[in-house]
Structure 1
Amino acid sequence: MSLLEVRNVKKVYTTRLGANQVQALSNVNFSVEDGEYVAIMGESGSGKTTLLNILAALDRPTAGEILLNGKNTVEIKNKELSAFRRTNLGFVFQDFNLLDTFSLKDNIFLPLVLSGEQYPQMMQKLEPIAKKLEITHLLEKYPYEVSGGQKQRAAVARALITQPQLILADEPTGALDSRSTDQLLDLFQSINEDGQTIVMVTHSTKAASRAKRVLFIKDGEVFHQIYKANMSDEEMYAKISAALTVLATGGEQGE
């Protein structure tokens, strides 16, 4: 069953005085199944960040539909969008987006506090997540007291604690060293195996090779996709690298 459906999505930006128009997305169509782990790749300017912002309901398309579990997010009223995002979406960012004046625990609790949940219920939700992410001993520390990898684990915990339908990750390994990157990718794979649906935008071939499917965006459209199926991470890495070469050189790519 498709959890996310992207139908004929187009995005055109108009300059301030309306003199010029820039087409960021021209006709994007794809679906994501419940429990899938999808990476989105493309060169700078290809439209992948614009697409992620639209999936996150942070921006609206010029045309087209975004269906999350059958609900068209494009039609949600502005005053209802924040609550919709808190309830249905979890976010993991490259720069963590943690508040330095809050402990890791309070950062993780933030979406639940905004939803009006009580402390006992919040603790009940946090304990199994913190244990799985191996950050229980860090919860009282502040972001400036922990490593980049530990910050990102706290950010993942914040994304998971609302039990979202979909996690959207924007370059989640971009600010991490190689060891922390490997740990985060292992973590993403583990939570996906638990049934969590993930869509990740990344420049990293290594990160994308851990996903079950990779979509390549070129000139504002889905240009190609690769299913991992029974491939090893190394085989997937080689396939992705070949597809990126085709993207960069302007060649044609078959399925």
Structure 2
Amino acid sequence: MGLLKVKNIKKIYATRFGNQKVEALKNVSLEVEQGEYVAIMGESGSGKTTLLNILAALDKPTSGEILLNGKNIVEISDKDISAFRRDHLGFVFQDFNLLDTFSLKDNIFLPLVLSRKSYKEMEKRMAPLADDLGISDILGKYPYEVSGGQKQRCAVARALITQPELILADEPTGALDSKSTNDLLTLFNKINENGQTIIMVTHSTLAASHASRVLFIKDGEVFHQIYKGDKTNEEMYQNISDTLTLLTTGGVSNE
């Protein structure tokens, strides 16, 4: 079932003095199925971060539609957009975006506090998540007291606790060491196997190799894609590496 449908998205920015326009996205169309795990890759300036920001309702396209379960998020008013993001989307960032003055538990609870959920409901949702993510014993600590990998696990818990339709991850392994990276990617696979839809923007071939599909963005367009199918992570890694090489040398046709 199609969860997300992106139709003919364009994004045009005016330069600082307004005398020149930059087309960051050009007629981008794509679909993401319920339960899919999609990675988006591309060189710096390719448009992938612009696309993620638009999918996250943090920015509006110049034209086009974005349908999440049939609802066009482009048409949601500025007044209602924060509540929509909080209720329907979960976010995992490279730099974790945790508040140092809040305990890890309170950081995870924050979106539910803003949604005015009862403490009983928050505790009910927290318990299984903390257990699954292996963070039950650190919930009373503060972000500056734990490792990067532990911070990212708490950020994942915060994203999941709202029971979102879609998780959006922006370079989630970018600030992690190799062990924490592998732990997080294993965790994402487990979350996805439980039915959670994930879209991840990444520069990391290793991270992308865990996804079920990889979209390559070039010059503001979806230029190519690879489906994992029955490939191993190692085979997917090699496919992605080869494709990135061909993309930079102009050897892959738009498809």
TM-score, reference length from structure 1: 0.99
Q: CA RMSD in A?
A: 0.8
Ranges in structure 1 where 5+ consecutive residues have no aligned partner: none
**Amino acid across the alignment from 2:244:** L
| Consecutive aligned runs of 4 or more in structure 1 exceeding 6 Å deviation | none
Residue 243 of structure 1 contacts residue 253 of structure 1 at CA under 8 Å; is this kept in 2? no
Q: Distance in 2 between matches of 1:18 and 1:155?
A: 38
> When the two structures are aligned, how many residues end up with a matched partner?
255
Name the counterpart of 2:44: 44
Q: CA deviation at 1:253?
A: 3.4
Q: CA deviation at 1:254?
A: 6.8
Name the counterpart of 2:242: 242
**Amino acid across the alignment from 2:106:** D
Q: Please list, as runs of the form range in 1=range in 2, the aligned pairs for 1:92-241 lying within 5 A after superposition.
A: 92-241=92-241
Q: Distance in 1 between matches of 2:246 and 2:199?
A: 23
Residue 38 of structure 1 contacts residue 199 of structure 1 at CA under 8 Å; is this kept in 2? yes
Residue 243 of structure 2 contacts residue 252 of structure 2 at CA under 8 Å; is this kept in 1? no
Ranges in structure 2 where 5+ consecutive residues have no aligned partner: none
Residue 47 of structure 2 contacts residue 218 of structure 2 at CA under 8 Å; is this kept in 1? yes
Q: Distance in 2 between matches of 1:239 and 1:252?
A: 12
Could you report, residue by residue, the CA deviation over 1:64-83 in whole angstroms, capped at 9, with x for unpaired residues? 10100000000000000000
**Amino acid across the alignment from 1:192:** N
Q: CA deviation at 1:87?
A: 0.3
Q: Distance in 2 between matches of 1:253 and 1:201?
A: 22
TM-score, reference length from structure 2: 0.99
Q: Distance in 2 between matches of 1:5 and 1:229?
A: 21
Residue 25 of structure 1 contacts residue 219 of structure 1 at CA under 8 Å; is this kept in 2? yes
Q: Given the alignment of the two structures, is residue 58 of structure 1 paired with residue 58 of structure 2, yes or no?
A: yes
Residue 167 of structure 1 contacts residue 199 of structure 1 at CA under 8 Å; is this kept in 2? yes
Q: CA deviation at 1:250?
A: 1.8
Q: Distance in 1 between matches of 2:50 and 2:101?
A: 30
Answer with 245-254 or 87-96: which moved more: 245-254
Q: Distance in 1 between matches of 2:204 and 2:93?
A: 14
Name the counterpart of 2:34: 34
Give the 3-state SS of the residue equivalent to 1:229 in structure 2. Answer: coil
Q: Distance in 1 between matches of 2:190 and 2:17?
A: 48
Q: CA deviation at 1:49?
A: 0.1
Name the counterpart of 1:69: 69
Q: Distance in 1 between matches of 2:23 and 2:251?
A: 22
Q: Distance in 1 between matches of 2:11 and 2:246?
A: 25
Q: Distance in 1 between matches of 2:18 and 2:209?
A: 41
- Over the matched positions of the two proteins, sequence identity in percent amounts to 73
Q: CA deviation at 1:248?
A: 1.1
